Structure 1
Amino acid sequence: MTPRLDMIGIIVSDMAASLAFYRRLGLDIPAEADSQPHVEAVLPGGLRVGWDTEEVIRSFDPSWTRPAGDGRVGLAFLCDSPAAVDSLYAELTGDGHSGHLKPWDAFWGQRYAVVLDPDGSGVSLFAPADPGSPADLAAPAA
């Protein structure tokens, strides 16, 4: 069998805070998951996003330490319009999440912004500047 990408894993220091952030981005995660050490959400198409507390990771990898510096993996969320990028960025930063890049009209044809999740991982928010253009297919990694 050929390997296939099945899950994107996120290590968190505060499960409830992380899940609240990703719920704001539209992921369907039940409220009772906030107190769990491992949580998964299935996305359309079957890809999963999983969250593990730092304690879970240390339980099977005692030498694991929290990475220093910027994250190496970023998630990107497609928004309905350039105005939706601006609005979601304002809502998230208004709720106290750190903005990394304010919304701007990127040279690759998107309205683009980056906000940090509770553990400091960059999360891109984007929408095509011109609906129907190739820029609506992908955003650069945060």
Structure 2
Amino acid sequence: MSPRFDAIGLVVSDMAASVAFYRRLGFTIPDGAEREPHVEIELPGGLRLLLDTEDTVRSFRPQWRAPSGEGRAALALRCEGPDEVDSVYGELVGAGYHGELKPWDAFWGQRYAVVLDPDGNGVDLFAPLEAG
């Protein structure tokens, strides 16, 4: 037997806010999901992003508490190019989301930025820098 990687799960404090954020990033999420306690989002390549409300998690783990301090996980989204990193970052920050790290040309060869989702999870935006 060999387990296979299938999904990434995030615990969210406000499902509607999280659904709105991930829809802005282009994730296809069914209508009405913002009112559900658990949402499964199909990702390219067969993986899934799972969103569960804090109450849902507490229903089977009553002692669960939301973590405090900096996040330990991030989702990384590849953009078509450096200009898209800038435009997506600007659109999200303009919509009121927290820009954690403004776009910059990273020494490892990517245009790179970080925006936080409504629960403080990092969403890295990146694209390879063009050769030249």
Task: Give the TM-score taking structure 1 as reference length.
Answer: 0.90
Stretches of 4+ aligned residues off by more than 4 angstroms: none
Matched-pair identity in %: 64
Q: What displacement does 1:31 show? A: 2.2
2:122 corresponding residue in structure 1: 122
2:41 corresponding residue in structure 1: 41
| Structure 2, gaps ≥5 residues long | none
Q: What displacement does 1:25 show? A: 1.1
Q: How many residues align?
A: 131
1:14 corresponding residue in structure 2: 14
2:60 corresponding residue in structure 1: 60
Cα offsets for 1:8-61 (capped at 9, x unmatched): 001000001101111111110012111000000111211111000000000111
1:84 corresponding residue in structure 2: 84
Partner Cα separation in structure 2 for residue 82 and residue 13 of structure 1: 32
- The answer to whether the aligner puts 1:75 opposite 2:75 as a matched pair is yes
Partner Cα separation in structure 2 for residue 46 and residue 84 of structure 1: 24
* RMSD, aligned CA: 0.9
Counterpart of 2:29 in structure 1: which amino acid?
I
Secondary structure of the residue that 2:84 maps to in structure 1? Answer: helix
Partner Cα separation in structure 2 for residue 80 and residue 46 of structure 1: 20
Partner Cα separation in structure 1 for residue 102 and residue 45 of structure 2: 30
Partner Cα separation in structure 1 for residue 89 and residue 73 of structure 2: 20
| Structure 1, gaps ≥5 residues long | 132-142
